[in-house]
Chain A
Amino acid sequence: DQQVKQNSPSLSVQEGRISILNCDYTNSMFDYFLWYKKYPAEGPTFLISISSIKDKNEDGRFTVFLNKSAKHLSLHIVPSQPGDSAVYFCAASAWSNTGKLIFGQGTTLQVKP
C-alpha cells in the first residue's frame, strides 16, 4: 500500500520556467510533509517542509503548497535552474508516529539550459 505517491516519474522544464512537482497521499493521519532533493551518488538533502496547519510555505525559489481536502501537495521551483536537476522525493509523517517518514517514489527533474 503506497501511502505517498508521486505519479510522475520524470519532468523536464526549460531554465527560467516554473517546475511543479506533485505528490498525493492517502493517510489522513499525516500532518507533516517534507521535500527532499537527491543528486546521484549522494544522500537526499532536506529542501522544505510544511505542517498541516498551513497551506503554503515559501523559502526562496521553493514553495510548497498543501491541499488537505485533496490530500495533495506540490513543490514549485521558480525560476528553475540547471542545478535543480535531481530526483525529488516527497515524504510525510503522522502525529501518531512522530519521526517516521513515508517517502514517495521520487520524480526526476531535468532543467534544460
Chain B
Amino acid sequence: GAGVSQSPSNKVTEKGKDVELRCDPISGHTALYWYRQSLGQGLEFLIYFQGNSAPDKSGLPSDRFSAERTGGSVSTLTIQRTQQEDSAVYLCASSLARSSGRDTDTQYFGPGTRLTVL
C-alpha cells in the first residue's frame, strides 16, 4: 500500500518568508508526527497528533512554528518568518497507535522535505 508522502521534497526560501510543508499519512493511521533533522543531528520531535485529542506541541521550537491536521488525515506544518537556523530536513511519520497493541506504536516515515533558508 501507499506509504507516507510529503511535499515538496525540496524547498528553498528566503529568510523572512513563510513556508508550508505537507504530509499525507498512511490511510487508517490515527497518529501523525513531525520531526526535523538538522545537519549532523538526531531526530528532533516537533508535534504529535493523535485522533481527536489536542496535539502535543511540546517540541515546537518557537511560536513561528505551527501545524494542523485536517479531517484526521493530511497535515500541514507552517513556519512563519523563516530563519536560517530553520534549515533542516522535516520528516513526517504516522502510526496506528492503538492502545490494544504496542506494535502499533511503530512509526512509518515519509521521505522528508529538505528546507533551505537563504
Whether A99 contacts B50 in the complex (CB less than 8 A), given A32-B102, A89-B42, A106-B42, comes out as yes
Range class of the A interface residue count: 20 to 34
B positions within 8 Å CB-CB of A? 4, 31, 33, 35, 41-43, 45, 48, 50, 56, 91, 93, 95, 97-99, 102-112, 114
Whether A34 contacts B106 in the complex (CB less than 8 A), given A89-B43, A103-B43, A105-B41, comes out as yes
In the complex the two chains form, is A93's CB within 8 Å of B111's CB? no
In the complex the two chains form, is B103's CB within 8 Å of A49's CB? yes
A positions within 8 Å CB-CB of B? 31-32, 34, 36, 41-46, 49, 51, 89, 91, 93, 95, 98-106
When distances are taken between beta carbons in the complex, the residues of chain B under 8 Å from A32 are 102-103, 105
In the complex the two chains form, is B105's CB within 8 Å of A43's CB? no
For the complex, what is the distance from the CA of A47 to the CA of B108, rounded to whole Å?
11
When distances are taken between beta carbons in the complex, the residues of chain B under 8 Å from A100 are 33, 45, 48, 56
